[in-house]
Structure 1
Amino acid sequence: MKPFARLLFRRLGLLIALLATVFVAVDLLPGSTGRAVLGREASAEQVARKEHELGLDRPLAVRFLDWISGVLTGDFGRTARGRSINELLADKFPPTLLLGGLALVVTVVVSLLIGAWWAAAAPPLSLRRAGSAELTSRQGSPIATAWYRTLQPATTVAAAIPEFVLATLLIMVFALATGWLPAVTITDRQGFPVSADMLVLPVLALAIPQIGWNTRVVRAALAEAAQAPHVESAMLDGLSTRVVLVRHVLPFAAPTVVASFATTVGMVLGGSLVVETIFNYPGLGAVLAGSVADRDTSVVAAVVALSGVVIMLMFAVADGIRAWSLRGRG
């Protein structure tokens, strides 16, 4: 528990340092919070009075310490417009969590399936060479060679495409050109999309780049794990490729794969803030955009803090799975 506790405190320290950086960055933005709240017609005296009311005339360090002390008691404070940040997050975070959760599930399932298929495309005795550049038409089967030549560039391109570019392309193809799927999100009274098809394009925009990256990680991890002596023994015993992968290779590749998926959580949450804006999705993206425009530091920091806690929890789960998968090894 001691190493885990040290790791937890180190991550908490990094999160607090990140929140302090957010305070500094938002404070350096041009404009005035009081002016953004009151409008252009407000006089300088009204703006100064509003900023004094919000405590913005205090030193930045004092404001940060006051805010972080409130967060430790579960109170994120109030927005510059007077709304409780706790209520705001309670309204807007569940839709973002739904979108990010679906994207993560799709990423995990598809990456595992394609990565395992890619690693197993060669004959069982060639599985250990699947991660090597030596996989050619002379050494692998035609299927293995075809998979290698297709997936190698496809996953690279998928991982390299930014979410906002991919979202725009998906809208052009599936919404504007074919009309198969909606390009914008309409919400019900609870703030969730009124139909499931409104989630398809945002989920794909988030999942496809992560599928590209994680597929390569899964394939590389499986290929490395396949080099273990017990895997060769299992192959020589005549076990099928599927059995070898599931029982003898995947458990040894699990630490690397799970760590990659845990990192994906942060990428999905970060990407969702952009994707939500493009699809008019009712999540934290609109909240963050509005708070940046208002220079509302407390809201921006609250979104970062909430996202950071979710990421930390996922890393804790990944650490637990990694410890479980490594049990009994020297």
Structure 2
Amino acid sequence: MAGALSDTPTAGGAPAPPASADAAPPAALGRAARLIAKRLVLLGLLLAAVFAAVALLPGDAANATSERGETAADMAARRAALGLDRPLAVRFWDWMSGLPTGDLGTTAHGQPVTAVLSGPFPNTLLLGGLALAASILGALALGCWTALRPGGRADRAVAVLATAAFAVPEFVLSIGLLLVLSQWTGWLPAVTLTGADGAPASWDMLVLPALALAIPQIGWNTRIVRGALADQAALPHVRAAVLDGLPRRRVLTHHMLPGALPAVAVAVATSAGMLLGGAVVVETLFNYPGIGAVLAGAIADRDTPLVAGVVAATGAAISTLLLLADLIRDRVLGARP
């Protein structure tokens, strides 16, 4: 059948040329390459800003890591060993040249940055992944529930609560969760203890920090999901489905949600960045063994390679998620007639 259709003659009598199945992939690959190049440029600019910001802080790594009784000659030797006697641009270029091979440099204490991050970074990814999953599920549930009741009391109440949840800073929410779920009820541990492998000793120690990260993002994503579904509800094909008498749930799942996917995907990717940014505060409050404590110590030590290594690792994760969101948006929008 497919062969017969492809050989159907045109009005001029010649067979119609088969549709090129290879036309779309090169275009998609070109868009993906441009998006990747854009993300890499943005990440490079961010890392340059990190180097400049740490250099502007008072003191340097030699002072921050010096020991009592060191002489001026000792300090000069330490600065030379850390490369602080070279121009900032040279140090930045040397550090960037090692990124393609996975070399993130050496900390002010003489340890490889990759070794320092190898333990805490997976813990942060675990915490962020749990919080992201909770925010996606919560936002989809609330957004779809209110989309079935547009303009009702539930819709208005969820909108107010979602705005309030997103407006509350992570440290305020963390303190509230500690008081209610740990101090007053004793349901969950207040701090995180680590096992021999450096990971949290038990699963319940993940609940409070994950909630502190997820609740604001549930509020943010609920409003995004609700707005995207409202936009879809106003489209002609959705109105036609309603006029045809289809059940509201079927209209929601088959006609509204697919069109809302690009906006939801971008919101999820944005939330991932916010989660990794908020993890610095939340991990510190709950004594969680993630990159938050590493970053705080690196800034205190003016340890530029370690700070840049944390930013590079988190930036790569965020850029990957943003790239996936962009590709999903292009794929869905490109598939529309």
Confirm or deny a common fold (TM above 0.5): yes
Alignment pair present for 1:112 and 2:144? no
Match of 1:155 among 155, 162, 167: 162
- Which one of the candidate residues 226, 232, 245 is aligned to 1:219? 226
Shift of 1:292: 0.3
Verify: 1:299 aligned to 2:327, yes or no: no
Q: How far, CA to CA, are the matches of 1:153 and 1:254 in structure 2?
A: 23
**C-alpha displacement of 1:320:** 2.5
Instruction: From 86, 91, 109, give the equivalent of 2:119.
Output: 91
Q: Does 1:73 align with 2:101?
A: yes
Unpaired runs of 5+ residues, structure 2, are 1-28
Do structure 1's residue 328 and structure 2's residue 335 form an aligned pair? Answer: yes
Matched, 1:274 2:281: yes
The two structures, once aligned, show a CA RMSD in angstroms of 1.2
CA distance in 2 between partners of 1:164 and 1:51 (Å):
36
Q: Does the 8 Å contact 2:147/2:155 carry over to 1?
A: no
Question: Which of 195, 202, 210 in structure 1 is aligned with 2:209?
Answer: 202
Per the normalisation by structure 1, the TM-score is 0.91
Q: Report the residue type matching 2:225 in the other structure.
A: V
Q: Any unmatched runs of 5+ in structure 1?
A: 122-129, 136-143
Alpha carbons 1:206, 1:268 under 8 Å: kept: yes
Q: Which amino acid aligns with 2:156?
A: R
The equivalent of 1:27 in structure 2 is 55
Identity rate, percent: 53
Task: Tell me the equivalent position of 2:12.
Answer: none
211-220 or 188-197, larger mean C-alpha shift: 188-197
Matches within 5 A, 1:313-324: 313-324=320-331
Q: CA deviation at 1:172?
A: 1.4
Instruction: Check whether the contact 2:35–2:323 (CA below 8 A) recurs between aligned residues.
Output: no
State the 1:40 CA deviation: 4.1
Q: 1:37 and 2:65 equivalent? A: yes
Alignment-derived partner of residue 80 in structure 2: 52
Q: State the aligned residue count.
A: 309
Structure 2 residue 290 is the aligned partner of structure 1 residue 262: no
Three-state SS of the structure 2 residue aligned to 1:38 is coil
Report the alpha carbon displacement of residue 319 of structure 1 after superposing the two structures with TM: 2.0
**Aligned equivalents of 1:44 and 1:297: distance in 2?**
22
Question: Which residue does the alignment assign to 1:63?
Answer: 91
After superposition, the C-alpha distances for 1:72-123 in whole angstroms (9 at most, x for unaligned) are 22101111101111111111110000000000000001100100101111xx
Match of 2:178 in 1: 171
Q: In the alignment, residue 35 of structure 2 is paired with which amino acid?
A: L
